[in-house]
Amino acid sequence: MSRDALLRQLAAAAEQLKTKELLEAFDPTRPGSKPTDAQQEIIDAVLQRKRRYIVVRAGNQSGKSSTGAKAFATMFREDGVSWKRPDHWHDSLQFYILGRTSKQVEESLHQRIIRHIHEPDSIREIRQGGALQKVINKHNGNTILYFSHHNTNQAQQAVQSFTGHAAWCDELPASSRIIEETSKRILVNKGPMLLTFTPKIPNPEVKQFLDSLPPELAMTIRINMLDNPAIDDEEKQVQLETARVMGEAMMNTILHGDWLVGDRGVYNFRPSIIRNPVGYSPAWRHVESSDPAAASEHGLIVAAEDPATGHWYVIRADYLRSKNPNETINEVMRRTAGLNIVRRIYDTAATWYMQLAAAQGISYMGVYKKSDRKLDMISATNQALGVNLFVAEWCSDLQDELQSAQWSEVNPTKIAHAHNYHLCDALNYFVDNRPKYEGNVVDHKKTWDQQIREYNQQKNSKAQTQTKIKRSAWGRPWTRW
């Protein structure tokens, strides 16, 4: 054998060894990484089908999603070495994975699973409307079906027509009906259902369902955030100190996965609030609402009004992170470019923001007596949510804030750690200052650029009319006599 051929063989063997080490590693980006005892217990429980329900109540950043991804990637890959299917699982396997939103499913769950494959050409992704629907393993025909559980009825209906072998629900669903319906889909094959979540939102109905499951059907495994080897000691200390100031109940939830009990939620969050606009056009009336913060993050809300119904949809809910106020304003303009913005609203406490915007020719409307009317504005937002105000499913940060905002235990009229909820504040400002409904002013048969062009023509025409009014009959500028 020639020297070059020998070197090629050695290189190929080294690459195979590296691939094997990555496949066996808990974190496929870190060769040799191992799961904690609790994480390994979860993986074994899923692969060995120790119970019908495997409930993982975990702290934030505890590695719960990585653990679920490791277990389901192993079954999906099915290499015959690290795991072998049960004898009664015939033909190709089908798995369900449910997450809070379509974006979270793809970015947080699917990408973690694919890291364990290491053969990019071995899978085929199928999408619908840009959202990931399923992934097929070309080698063995195994399939993963992805669903969002943000809308209980839609999620329930979506899984009804399938029969699968195992399911994974990441993040706490709004209703136990999703858990029950999904578990029925794997009943025939006696497959496991894994649930991984940090119960930061009080949900007595789901808590009652999971706590009532008999031990022969369900097992509960706890993961502590401080046990996660992927988090260094400095970051653990930061997380621990942050959790302490949030109160004992929330601290135990964030660190240990304890159920958060009580009903101190500020906003009446429910699944019906999450709804995407139908027939959306940038020519719809849009309102930008900002909660500027010089020392922290800028909360930006953009809402669009459906001209046919007068209903408003939050289509952007972003945090802008810049220490340069001018850069923040420029970023706001960039993210609202091309939209028919009819009003811009800001927190009047940030007069510096209004002044900087005005210097660039950008006009903002302030919030009237914000400090005296905070409770009234929150009440108005609660009355609008799910009635004529909805949040698009991709605005996950706003959804998180609406669900996690809690009244203070010390002062029930104050929000605990209110400085963390800039998006909610921006939403309150929008509700308080949104324009009145003017009827259907958009022709849906026209493209959005045609609608924008006509809108600009009408705007210019009005400006010219006002100029003519101010002129005298002699064609000279109007002056005061």
Asked, for residue 115, whether it belongs to a domain, the answer is: yes
Whether 169 and 118 map to the same domain: the answer is: yes
Asked, for residue 461, whether it belongs to a domain, the answer is: no
DSSP codes joined into one string, 172-229: --S-HHHHHHHHHHTTTTT--EEEEE---S--HHHHHHHHHS-TTTEEEEEE-GGG-T
Whether 16 and 81 map to the same domain: the answer is: no
State pTM to two decimals: 0.60
Strands (DSSP E) contained in 225-374 are: 285-291, 298-305, 312-320, 341-346, 365-366
Rounded CA-CA distance 394/2 in Å is 58
Whichever domain contains 112, its CATH number is 3.40.50.300
Whether 50 and 191 map to the same domain: the answer is: yes
Asked, for residue 288, whether it belongs to a domain, the answer is: yes
Show pLDDT as tens, one digit a residue, over the chain (481 residues): 677 777 777 676 666 656 566 667 888 877 788 999 999 999 999 999 999 999 999 988 899 999 999 999 999 999 877 899 999 998 999 999 999 888 889 988 999 998 888 777 899 999 988 889 999 999 999 999 999 987 777 888 888 878 899 999 999 888 899 999 999 999 999 999 999 999 877 677 888 899 899 999 999 999 998 888 878 888 888 877 777 766 666 778 888 888 876 557 788 887 789 999 999 999 999 999 999 876 668 999 999 999 999 999 999 999 998 778 888 899 999 999 999 999 999 998 888 898 999 998 999 999 988 878 888 899 999 999 999 999 999 998 898 888 878 887 677 778 877 888 899 999 999 999 999 888 765 555 555 566 666 666 766 776 666 666 555 444 444 444 3
Whether 307 and 183 map to the same domain: the answer is: no
CB atoms within 10 A of CB 475: 7
Q: What does the CA dihedral 17, 23, 27, 32 come to, rounded to 10 degrees?
A: -30
Whether 120 and 169 map to the same domain: the answer is: yes
Whether 235 and 352 map to the same domain: the answer is: no
Asked, for residue 443, whether it belongs to a domain, the answer is: no
Rounded CA-CA distance 246/249 in Å is 8
195 contacts 210 by C-beta, under 8 angstroms: yes
Whether 297 and 356 map to the same domain: the answer is: yes
Paired with 53 in beta bridges are 193, 218
Whether 20 and 44 map to the same domain: the answer is: no
Q: Which range of residues forms the domain containing residue 21?
A: 1-25
Whether 48 and 151 map to the same domain: the answer is: yes
Asked, for residue 299, whether it belongs to a domain, the answer is: yes
193 contacts 45 by C-beta, under 8 angstroms: no
Chosen domain end from 416, 433, 450? 433
Asked, for residue 312, whether it belongs to a domain, the answer is: yes
Rounded CA-CA distance 285/339 in Å is 8
Asked, for residue 474, whether it belongs to a domain, the answer is: no
Whether 202 and 350 map to the same domain: the answer is: no
Asked, for residue 473, whether it belongs to a domain, the answer is: no
- Work out how many domains the chain is built from and give that number: 3
Whether 125 and 197 map to the same domain: the answer is: yes
Whether 344 and 326 map to the same domain: the answer is: yes
Three-state DSSP at 123 gives: strand
